[in-house]
Amino acid sequence: MPEEPDGPGRLEGKVALVTGGASGIGRACCERFAEEGADVVVADIHDDRGRETVAAVEERGQRATFVHCDTSAPEACEAMASAAVEAFGRIDICVAAAGISHAQYVSGADPVDENPLTPSVDSSTGFVENKEIEQWEKVLAVNLTGVFLTDRAVIRRMLEGGHPGSIINIASAAAVLPMPGDAEYAVSKAGVWSLTKTLAVEVASRGIRVNAIAPGVIETPMTQMWTDDESWMADYLANTPVGRLGQPLDIANTALFLASDDSSFFTGELLKPTGGIYAT
């Protein structure tokens, strides 16, 4: 069990809702927020692992509850937000971290067998002329529409409760860098960035801040199909100035800044914890 932080945390008395909270970046945000004093609503489609995150939050001395939610479904997102308010009375922070890398992605499944795409851009398997509409629509439904539905439901509850809040959308370096063979993922994340800016302008005067994070390659189950490839790893690290992959905690710490009052003058921003790949 981690050591308790000294003194009040930066999120003391706050309630955070995190989608995709069962693993990877979402789980890291849940745990890090709990260390800083927040109670946490863990939302995911994976019930068992979501409840494991709840237990991890409780081990850190905070309250937590799990909500099963498919964020691509409007009614599910509304029910999720209502459950958060029913459990803890309000929502102060939302991290929209639920997402998929491709249409066949299943978190926790074998990263190679489940993925019809190769990490190499030398293959045209996933190029636009070969893309099935079902692949395109599935990724946008989860990665973009799911963020919209999550944000919409949370903003409604924040306004109804009269509480200012911070919304943090997880985009990707792919929002601004091309990804040959995976256009639907790149477009979905670019959409998240555009949505973030639009919402930020719409709700700033009502006390709600909306920002996004564009991670580089983070060592999670979603990226394992690439990080298990030694050749890909060698090439990626050679082009990453800090010389390592990102860890979920790197993104959780960025989200903590955006969730806290330390970032009170930030809205409509895209923070880029990528290890320097934008500088090359």
The answer to whether residue 8 scores a pLDDT higher than 90 is no
Report the share of the chain in percent with pLDDT over 90. 66
**DSSP label at 268?**
S
Selection from 193, 210, 100, 236 nearest residue 151 by Cα: 210
CA–CA separation, 159 and 267 (whole Å): 17
Q: How confident is the model at residue 190 (pLDDT cuts 50, 70, 90)?
A: very high
Structure tokens at 10: 């930066």
User: Max alpha carbon distance in the chain (Å)?
Assistant: 57
pLDDT value of residue 3: 47
105, 185, 236, 278: the active-site residue? 185
- What does the alpha-carbon distance between residue 32 and residue 106 come to, in Å, rounded to a whole number? 25
Which residue type does 79 have? Answer: A
Structure tokens at 202: 């719409």
* Arithmetic mean of pLDDT over the chain: 88
Per the annotation, the verdict on 105 as an active-site residue is no
The pLDDT of residue 103: 56
**Domains of the chain, start order:** 15-279 (3.40.50.720)
At residue 263, the pLDDT reads 98
How far is residue 272's CA from residue 211's CA, in Å, rounded to a whole number?
A: 11
